[in-house]
Amino acid sequence: MIARASTLHLPTLRDAPADAEAVSHKLLVRAGYIRQVSAGLWSFTPLGWRVHRKVENVIREELDAIGAQEWFAPVLTPLELWEATGRAGIPEIFHTQDRAGRPFVLPMTHEETFTFHARELQSYRQLPQSWYHFQTKDRDEPRPRGGLIRVREFIMKDSYSFDRDEDGLEKSFRAHEAAYHRIFKRCGIAYHAVQAESGMMGGSESVDYLAPSGSGENTLVTCPTGDFAADLEVARAVPRPATFPDAIDAPQLVETPNVTTCEDLAGFLGIDVAATSKALPMTLPDGTVVLALVRGDDRLEEAKLAAALQGESRPSTEDEIRAAFGAEPGSLGPVGFAGPILADEALRDGQFVAGANTTGWHLTGVEQGRDFQATFADIRVPKDGDTCINCGGPLTFDTAIEIGHIFKLGTRYSVPLDALFLDEDGQQKPLVMGSYGIGPGRVMAAAVEQMNDDNGIVWPRALAPYDVHVLALPGAEELALEAATVLSDAGYDVLLDDREKRPGEKFADADLIGLPVRITVGKKTLEDGNVDVRDRATGAESRVAIAALPGAVKG
RNA sequence: CGGGACGUAGCUCAGCCUGGUUAGAGUGCCUGCUUUGGGAGCAGGAAGCCGCGAGUUCGAAUCUCGCCGUCCCGACCA
C-alpha cells in the first residue's frame, strides 16, 4: 500500500516538548508517533498506532506458534472477583461503579477474569490451555514518567496458562520463555532475561525481560562475560573486601562525639568504611523490632529484606527504637540487643565497628558469633565496584526498561476463585497457572531508546510503520509515484512524501520518522531514471533503476 | 506521599525581580512572489481567559494567598 504524507496526519515537531527527558519520549513526540492527553495518558497517532500493531503482530504470531489462543476480555471487571483473590486493596487499582452502585475495577492485569473463565475447564483432558489477549490496563500510578515508559493506561498482551500440575506449568512456562525470546529478537531489541521478584503477583518463579536503555525504571546488573544478569533488586554480588584493623579479643568502647554517618565514623577512626557496620531497626507488622545490619558502605535492599523476613517491614519509629534498645537512635548496634538480628552476608567475617547503643559511643572489634548472634542473608544493594558471584569479574549497572515479565503463579488464583478440574485419578484439583505479560508500548519505547541517532529514530524493519519512505522532490512527483507503485506492487508498505515542502524539510522529517529505507526521487532521477536508495541505519546510498527497486530494498 | 521546578501563541521561550498604552520573539501555520538534492528568501496575515480563583491596588502576565495542572528526584511499583 501507499500512504500519502500529504493527507496523513503526521505532526512532526522541530523542537521536543520542554518537559521531555527520555530520548524515546522526545523522539516519539517529535516524530509524531504519540501525543499526551494527561499525565501518563497517551494517544497513538496513526503513525504510532501502526508501530504498536507491528509489535502486536509479532507477539501474536509467536504466541499462536506455541499454541496459545487469542481472546478478548473486558476491561471493566466486577470487584467481587478481585475481593476473592484479595487484590482489591492494591492502591494502584482504579475503582468505579455502575449507575446502580455495583462496584467494578479497571484492572491492571486479568488473572481474575481469565481464572473465572478457566472454571469452565473441568477435566484434565482439556488441559493444558494457554490463553491471551491484548487489552487496556489501567494503573493509578503515583508517578507516571518518561513518555511511554511508565503510564497509567496502556495495552498489554497478557497470557495465562492452565495446567494440571507443576510439570505441566514448567512446560508452559518454558514455551512462553522461548516465544518471548523470539518476539524480542524479531523486534530487534537487546534484552536480558533475569530472575526477578514476583511482587504483588504472588507465585514461585518469575523472569523479567529488561531492555538496557538510556532511561528506565529498573537497573540491570550484568557481568561482561555473560554469566550473570539480574535486576538490581534481586542481584547477588560480591562486595569489595574490607580492610580491617588488627583483630582484638573483645569489643572496645570508643567515644565518637558528633559522628553520625559511617563515612564520618571511618574518617574519625582512620579506618576503611567497609570495616564499619550500619544498624537499621525495622518493625514487622506484629510490632517486633528486627535489627537489619549492613556494612557501613552498603545500602539496605528492602526487596531482599522483605524476602528474607518473608513479609513487609518498615523503619522503626524513634519510640519503638527506645523501647527495643533502651537507647536513642543514632548509635545503635547489635551488641546487647535482645531482639532478632538479620545481618548481611558481608558481615560474616571480620571485626567491625558498630554502634554501642549509647549516644556518642561505638564499639570496635565487634565479631559476629562471639559478640552477637545473627541470621545472615543477602540484604544489600549491589553497587559499582562489586564483582560477579560466578566469575569474579567486575559488574556493570545499566538502566533498563522492563518490557515483559513472566510468572509461575501456581494455584495463587485458582484456589480462591475455585478454578478446579477433575484429574485422571478422580481427584478434584486447582489449576496450576502461569501468567505472561508484554507491554507493546514499552517495546516501542525500548526500541527507540536503543535505536536512534542525532537525527531521529532508526526503526528495525519489524517495527517501522512503513517499509520504505519515498521522497518526491519538486518536479519529480510523477516518477516518485511510479517508484512507490513499483514497491507497493511488490508488497511493501510505502510512505510517499508528496507534500509541498522543500527537500531539506523532507530529508529532516524522513530521518526523524526513521523508516529503514529512504528513496529520493528528484532532479537527478529525471536525468537518468535512477533513484537514490539510502539505508537509514548505515547511511549507505546507491543509485537504482526504478524497476529494480524491490530487489534493492530487500532487507 | 516527601523534595524541587515549571505553567505566557501549535512548539521553544522572553517579559515578572522594580505593577502602568494595544503582551513580544523564534519556529510552525495561512496568502502571494521568488526558490527547490539537507529545515531557503522577501512581503503580507491569522493565532493568547498570560493555568484557575480570590485578594492587594486607581491599575496585575507582573505582588500576596489558595487551588489545579505538568515535569524531575525520591518513596512506591506485574
In this prediction the ipTM stands at 0.94
Instruction: Rounding to the nearest 10 degrees, give the CA dihedral for residues A359, A360, A365, A371.
Output: -10
Residues A480 and A498: their CA atoms lie apart, in Å, by 8
Helix axes A166-186, A46-65, angle to 10 degrees: 140
Residues A369 and A533: their CA atoms lie apart, in Å, by 72
Residues A352 and A326: their CA atoms lie apart, in Å, by 22
Gap from A544 CA to B9 C1', Å: 45
Q: Is A282 helix (H, G, I), strand (E, B) or coil?
A: strand
In Å, how far from its chain's centre is CA A170? 23
Gap from A16 CA to B21 C1', Å: 36
Residues A372 and A337: their CA atoms lie apart, in Å, by 8
Residues A298 and A276: their CA atoms lie apart, in Å, by 10
Sign of the alpha-carbon torsion through A20, A25, A30, A35: negative
Ranges of residues in chain A whose predicted pLDDT is under 50: none
Residues A17 and A283: their CA atoms lie apart, in Å, by 44
The predicted structure's pLDDT at residue A308? 84
Residues A358 and A351: their CA atoms lie apart, in Å, by 19
The predicted structure's pLDDT at residue A284? 85
Gap from A269 CA to B18 C1', Å: 54
The predicted structure's pLDDT at residue A370? 94
Q: Domains in chain A, ordered, with CATH?
A: 9-235+398-449 (3.30.930.10), 252-377 (3.90.960.10), 466-553 (3.40.50.800)
Query: In angstroms, how far is the first alpha carbon of chain A from the final one?
Result: 18
Residues A168 and A548: their CA atoms lie apart, in Å, by 52
Gap from A396 CA to B56 C1', Å: 58
Gap from A473 CA to B41 C1', Å: 19
The predicted structure's pLDDT at residue A197? 64
SS3 per residue for A141-168: CCCCECCCCECCEEEEEEEEEEECCHHH
What are A230's three cell numbers?
Answer: 539480574
Considering all nucleic acid strands, name the nucleotide whose C1' atom is nearest to the C-alpha of residue A18: B12
Residues A355 and A366: their CA atoms lie apart, in Å, by 10
Considering all nucleic acid strands, name the nucleotide whose C1' atom is nearest to the C-alpha of residue A539: B38
Residues A128 and A106: their CA atoms lie apart, in Å, by 28
The predicted structure's pLDDT at residue A199? 55
Gap from A151 CA to B59 C1', Å: 45
Considering all nucleic acid strands, name the nucleotide whose C1' atom is nearest to the C-alpha of residue A406: B78
Q: Which nucleotides of B are covered by protein (CB under 7 A)?
A: 1-2, 10-13, 26-28, 35-40, 69-78
**DSSP H or E segment with residue A302:** helix A302-309
Strands A468-472, A494-497: pairing kind: parallel
List the strands of the sheet with A103-106, edge to edge.
A77-78, A103-106, A94-97
Gap from A18 CA to B14 C1', Å: 15
Gap from A34 CA to B49 C1', Å: 28
Task: Say how many C-beta atoms besides its own lie within 10 A of residue A103's C-beta.
Answer: 14
Looking at A5-123, which runs of residues are DSSP E strands? 34-38, 41-44, 69-70, 77-78, 94-97, 103-106
The predicted structure's pLDDT at residue A311? 77
Give the closest residue to B77 (Cα–C1′): A141
Residues A533 and A545: their CA atoms lie apart, in Å, by 10
Contact A327, A220 (CB under 8 A): no
Measured CA to CA in angstroms, residue A268 lies from A84, A279, A514 at distances of 57, 18, 57
Considering all nucleic acid strands, name the nucleotide whose C1' atom is nearest to the C-alpha of residue A437: B78
Gap from A142 CA to B73 C1', Å: 14
The predicted structure's pLDDT at residue A307? 81
Sign of the alpha-carbon torsion through A304, A306, A310, A316: positive
Contact A404, A180 (CB under 8 A): yes
Residue A216: which of A192, A240, A243 has the closest Cα? A192
Considering all nucleic acid strands, name the nucleotide whose C1' atom is nearest to the C-alpha of residue A142: B76
The predicted structure's pLDDT at residue A198? 57
Residue linked to cell 530521518: A511
Considering all nucleic acid strands, name the nucleotide whose C1' atom is nearest to the C-alpha of residue A500: B36
Considering all nucleic acid strands, name the nucleotide whose C1' atom is nearest to the C-alpha of residue A108: B78
Give the closest residue to B73 (Cα–C1′): A143
